[in-house]
Amino acid sequence: MLGKADHEEKQEVAEAPRVDVEDTAEGMVARLSGHWTTRTIAGVDKEMRDLEASSTTLPMIVDLGAVDRIDTAGAWVIERLIAANRRRDIETSVEGATKSAEILLGA
C-alpha cells in the first residue's frame, strides 16, 4: 500500500526538472521544465554547473515557461547561472517566469 509520501515522491520523479539548450542565431536558449524544488534539483545540478562554465559568450535566454513548480532551492540554482553569466559579461534574460518565480528570483 502506498502512503502519501510515496505518492508525492512518484509525482516529483514524474516531473523531474529538465534543461534543454538550443543555440540560435541570437544566442543560447536554456528551456527549463518540470519541478525545480529541493527534492528534485540535484538531478540537474551538474548540467546547470556545466552551463555556468560554458565557453560561450553569446547572450542567453533562460525560459521558465514550462517550470511547473519552483521553490527557493530551484530559484537559487537558476540565479547561480544568471550570476555566473553576469560575471562573464554575458547578457542574460529570463522569460516565461510565473509571479512566484519572479519573486523567488528577485529575493
Alpha-carbon 50 to chain mean position? 13
Among 51, 64, 67, residue whose Cα is nearest residue 17: 67
pLDDT digits (tens, 9 = 90+) for 2-42: 555 555 555 545 589 999 999 998 899 999 999 999 999 99
Contact 90/30 with Cβ under 8 angstroms? no
Tell me: the pLDDT tens digits for 34-64?
999 999 999 999 999 999 999 889 999 999 9
- Give the burial class of 59: count Cβ atoms within 10 A of its Cβ; 0-12 exposed, 13-18 middle, 19 or more buried: middle
Question: Given the C-alpha cell 521558465, which residue does it identify?
Answer: 64
pLDDT-based confidence at residue 106 (cuts at 50, 70, 90) = confident
**pLDDT tens-digit series, residues 83-98:** 999 999 999 999 999 9
